[in-house]
Amino acid sequence: MSALRPRIHFTARQHWLNDPNGLVYAGGRYHLYYQFNPRANDHGYMSWGHATSPDLLTWTEHDVALPWREGHDVYSGSAVVDWQGTSGLGQPGDPHPPVVAMYTGAGDHHQAQYLAVSRDGGTTWAFATPEPVLDEGKQDFRDPKTFWHAPSAQWISVVVHPVERQIGVYGSPDLHGWQTLSTFGPAGGVDGIWEVPDLFPLMDQTGRERWVMKVDVFAGAPQGGTGAQYWVGDFDGRAFTPTQQARWADWGKDFYAAVTYSDLPQSGRCVWLAWMNSWDYATQLPTHPWRGAMTLPRDLGLVPDGSGWALTQTPVQELDALRGESTALHGHGQEVEVTPGQPLDLTLSVPFGSSLTLTFTSAQGMEARLGVDGGQLTLTRPGPAGVAGFAGTHTVPLPTHSSDLDLRVILDACSIEVFAYGGQISVTDLLLPGSPIHRLTLDGAVTGEVWTLRPVMPDWNDSAAGESAEDQTVGR
């Protein structure tokens, strides 16, 4: 396994990966489909790659689920279990209800929405409709997120109109025939085109159901470039009505195309994950034979924050089972030596009004520095030669609180994910260490604990796939 290959985050064994697609629990497994180039390490020949997991963390990669074919790229979309058989795509005697994917087929300056079906619990797939089921005759019209809306007894799909900065809301009784119900936007951040919408319910702390509309922006995010924004509001089966202004879902540089899981076995649970990357430099990352990783899956919730409702994100509870040895943290110049490249899980409490500096160091020097001071959080990372726009300091305003600041920090070989105030703030950044991180240094009044995390990704031999050890050493 190379020095940059994540140990607890999903990567494909080889080739290019971007947006998660078709996240669904079916056939007793969590399925992760994703934008994938089965031929090379850059964006092209778009297909749906496929991996499954029993626990959202331990992934097994499978054959391509929906392959590219001449004139038909398989772009992003979603998957649902058709429990009631409304689609007519199942057959008598099937061991599972049909799993139906609605995806964007792209070619010849035209994008429209198509169906594919799996009759064995999401394992193998067939293209279900030679013609699109939803077509606006447009060049840019993509990324359907589809779900069953029980109160209105219909399927709902939100599909983005990227150039217009709008999201179309469509309804269907059977996933085949669709009608326009409403249009949302432009609103919030509109500096760049919109992509990858999602619409999902969450219970607030009073037990009331609220709805969250999420869409990604191609420019204008907090650290520049791509990012994700969301609104909290109401959905009546036809239109989404926001009840507060747009907010950023993540304050880092590398959080894009997050989508929620369908048909989770735990009632009321909501989980999503995102592509951990930025289009500012995604094609420049010095990894081989793979390129692209997913964030950790995250449990979602809603909490009041004085000016409305804040979306919370926390690493899925299953991550706790990977914890191993622990070390108490107390700050004041404390140094903690760790096995080079070891995944870590830190919990920290910073007293109200205090400051913190947490530095991650390799044999090459500082690889990341997390700071808290004066009502803001900063995350600094150096950048390797040849990856423009990577190095810098990312500044995050913290909510006004009169209590201690809780932080959770997840470190992997090439990433850091920070969660503050119970997940009201998340910061997701890639790292490209010159060599594996082996030391933590804490300055400031802080208490906490750091756990080692058991690696769960396969120990692929990247060198055997055509990469030398030198190829994974990042120079500065």
| Strand, helix or coil for residue 322 | helix
Beta pairing class for 290-291 and 15-26? parallel
Q: Is the peptide bond before 304 cis (omega within 30 degrees of 0)?
A: no
| Strand, helix or coil for residue 422 | helix
Instruction: From 92, 4, 73, select the one nearest 463 (Cα to Cα).
Output: 4
> CA–CA distance from 88 to each of 121, 171, 363 (Å)?
16, 17, 60
> What's the N-to-C CA distance of the chain in angstroms?
22
Q: How many CB atoms lie within 10 A of CB 93?
A: 6
Q: Which residues pair with 34 in a beta bridge?
A: 20, 49
pLDDT computed for residue 253 by the predictor: 98
Catalytic residue among 19, 82, 216, 280: 19
* 335/358 Cα distance (integer angstroms): 10
> CA–CA distance from 306 to each of 146, 241, 303, 339 (Å)?
32, 20, 10, 42
Instruction: From 86, 55, 68, select the one nearest 15 (Cα to Cα).
Output: 68
Q: How many CB atoms lie within 10 A of CB 208?
A: 9
Rounded to two decimals, the pTM is: 0.96
Q: Which amino acid is at 188?
A: G
Architecture in CATH of 15-315: 5 Propeller (2.115)
Burial 167-188 (b: 16+ CB within 10 A, else e): bbbbbbebbbebeebbebbebb
Tracing tokens 């007894």 back to the chain, one arrives at 153
> CA–CA distance from 130 to each of 54, 114, 159, 178 (Å)?
33, 8, 20, 16
Per DSSP (E only), the strands in 276-364 are 290-291, 298-304, 309-315, 323-331, 334-337, 344-350, 356-362
* 101/220 Cα distance (integer angstroms): 31
* 82/174 Cα distance (integer angstroms): 9
* 275/415 Cα distance (integer angstroms): 12
Q: Where are the domains of the chain?
A: 15-315, 317-462+467-472
pLDDT computed for residue 1 by the predictor: 56
The residues near 440 (Cβ < 8 Å, ≥ 6 apart) are 335, 336, 338, 344, 346, 358, 359, 360, 361, 450
pLDDT computed for residue 385 by the predictor: 79
Q: Is the peptide bond before 67 cis (omega within 30 degrees of 0)?
A: no
Low-confidence ranges of the chain (pLDDT < 70): 1, 463-476
pLDDT computed for residue 471 by the predictor: 36
Let me know if 19 is a catalytic residue.
Answer: yes
Round the average pLDDT of the chain to a whole number and report it. 95
User: Is residue 260 a contact partner of residue 268, using CB atoms and an 8 Å limit?
Assistant: no
User: Is residue 148 a contact partner of residue 130, using CB atoms and an 8 Å limit?
Assistant: no
For 317-462+467-472, the fitting CATH number among 3.40.50.10490, 2.60.120.560, 3.40.30.10, 3.90.1640.10 is 2.60.120.560
Question: Mind giving me the DSSP string for 290-306?
Answer: EE--BPPPEEEEEEE-S
pLDDT computed for residue 400 by the predictor: 83
